[in-house]
């Protein structure tokens, strides 16, 4: 029986550029599947994916949940006798998938290449600078004003008690950015779920779970597994990555809580308690949590930075923009945030305001490019794990037909 294979040459070209250039060294010995903790007798991962990649079968790979389930722990690359680096190949496939599923496509393509870095930085820099100009707040405050208001009047001040001017402009910048990221993630995950269903032969469900059932039975267990880092702990070659991922994960959770609390305090409680529009006391429990979270963010990113650099130096992985762009963005958010607070505490308004501007640029970049960078793995992997549970559930498989 013959099979007509139609390779996607553009896909192969993109994959090689994103770190999958060692693919041609693979000669299907299956060592990678032997050492990979995700592999099983009926799921020879990543050997099957390496075959698909060599054949250029893009549609098979972008709809393969295993590609998203891979933690790129490095075990397969370490034991590959030919130096094919399957981990890099799978990372390159994921990088392509984020561009393939990305919406709008222009923004997804922009975020996929290092040659676009000036524009990637320039877009949020210009947006925030224009808002700073429009707000009338583009000035350096006096030492007394800075000590009193901190960055609470970065975009100026008005007497409208229902909403502080600074909060209004930050909301005007960040809420549409977050909204775009969420909608783009929804579009991408929906398309991926459809592709995974088609590839896995999942037809019409016997009966569809309701939204609460889906969250309880499939999505929530996947989130818990990610938080506990269970699969990361199965890795051996790059087990130290857990030391970087865990503080980073807890930092994001802490800073997410601080952001929600601050928004509620500023936008709601601030109506009745105007003093909440000023800088928080250093001894405020929420402020302490924010500082601890910021330090954990920098420490976790620093560990991953060092780990990645060492792996590249040892020849275990290839250096790619896809891997480094996220590290740079997160480090930028953490360093500028901590530096801005230090400059406020010592009262250097000029440097502090410039640093705070860079902090806002970094935060906007992180949100704006989330669906198209390595950060998107958090979303796509979560739903791939949920799909893994769903396809083997009674919603899809009739238990009466099981032998």
- For the segment 270-314, what is each residue's pLDDT rounded down to a tens digit? 777 766 666 777 888 888 999 999 999 999 999 989 988 988 888
3-state DSSP assignment of residue 43:
strand
**Average pLDDT for 6-25:** 76
**Distance (Å, whole) CA 347 – CA 199:** 59
Beta bridge partners of 43: 40
Distances (CA, A) of 130 to 273, 367, 382: 30, 19, 37
Instruction: State the pLDDT at residue 76.
Output: 85
Sheet strands (E) in 311-374: none
Residue 359 · residue 336 · CB < 8 Å: yes
For the CA atoms of 320, 323, 327, 328, what is the dihedral angle to 10 degrees? 30
The model's pLDDT over 210-226, given as tens digits with 9 standing for 90+, comes to 899 999 999 999 999 88
Instruction: State the pLDDT at residue 149.
Output: 85
Sheet strands (E) in 178-327: none
- Among 138-147, 266-275, 376-385, the least confident range: 266-275
Higher pLDDT, 36 or 178: 178
pLDDT over 80 at 97, yes or no = yes
- Kindly report the pTM of this predicted structure: 0.89
Sequence spans of domains, the chain = 9-101, 105-391
Distances (CA, A) of 340 to 346, 348, 352: 10, 10, 5
- Among 288-302, 309-323, 339-353, the least confident range: 309-323
**Distance (Å, whole) CA 192 – CA 198:** 10
pLDDT over 50 at 188, yes or no = yes
Mean pLDDT for all residues in the chain: 87
Instruction: State the pLDDT at residue 206.
Output: 61
Residue 49: phi and psi, rounded to 5, are -65, -35
Instruction: State the pLDDT at residue 71.
Output: 79
- Among 60-74, 325-339, 354-368, 370-384, the least confident range: 60-74
């Amino acid at each position: 029986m013959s099979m007509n294979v139609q390779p996607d040459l553009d896909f192969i070209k993109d994959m090689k550029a994103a770190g999958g250039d060692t693919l041609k060294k693979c000669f299907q010995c299956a060592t990678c599947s032997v050492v990979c903790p995700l592999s099983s007798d009926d799921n020879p991962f990543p050997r099957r994916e390496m075959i698909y990649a060599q054949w250029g079968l893009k549609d098979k790979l972008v709809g393969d949940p295993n590609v998203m389930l891979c933690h790129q722990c490095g075990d397969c690359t370490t034991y590959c006798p030919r130096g094919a680096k399957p981990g890099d190949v799978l990372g390159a496939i994921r990088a392509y998938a984020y561009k393939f599923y990305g919406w709008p496509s222009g923004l997804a393509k922009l975020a996929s290449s290092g040659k676009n870095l000036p524009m990637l930085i320039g877009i949020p820099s210009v947006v925030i600078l224009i808002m700073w100009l429009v707000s009338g707040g583009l000035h350096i405050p006096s030492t007394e004003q800075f000590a009193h208001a901190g960055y609470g009047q970065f975009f100026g001040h008005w007497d409208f008690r229902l909403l502080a001017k600074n909060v209004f402009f930050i909301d005007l910048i960040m809420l549409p950015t977050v909204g775009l990221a969420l909608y783009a993630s929804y579009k991408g995950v929906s398309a991926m779920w459809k592709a995974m269903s088609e590839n896995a032969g999942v037809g019409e469900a016997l009966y569809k779970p309701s939204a609460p059932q889906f969250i309880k039975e499939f999505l929530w267990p996947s989130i818990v597994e990610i938080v506990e880092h269970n699969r990361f702990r199965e890795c051996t070659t790059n087990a130290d990555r857990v030391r970087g991922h865990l503080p980073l994960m807890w930092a994001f959770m802490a800073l997410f809580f601080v952001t929600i609390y601050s928004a509620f305090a500023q936008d709601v409680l601030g109506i009745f308690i105007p003093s909440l529009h000023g800088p928080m006391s250093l001894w405020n429990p929420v402020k302490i949590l924010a500082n601890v979270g910021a330090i954990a963010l920098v420490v976790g990113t620093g560990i991953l930075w060092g780990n990645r650099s060492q792996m590249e130096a040892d020849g275990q992985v290839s250096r790619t923009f896809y891997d480094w762009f996220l590290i740079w963005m997160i480090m930028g958010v953490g360093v500028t945030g901590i530096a801005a607070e230090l400059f406020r505490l010592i009262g250097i308004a000029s440097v502090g305001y410039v640093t705070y501007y860079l902090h806002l640029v970094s935060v906007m970049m992180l949100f704006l490019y989330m669906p198209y960078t390595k950060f998107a793995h958090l979303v796509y992997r979560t739903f791939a794990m949920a799909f893994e549970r769903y396809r083997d559930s009674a919603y899809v498989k009739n238990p009466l037909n099981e032998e």
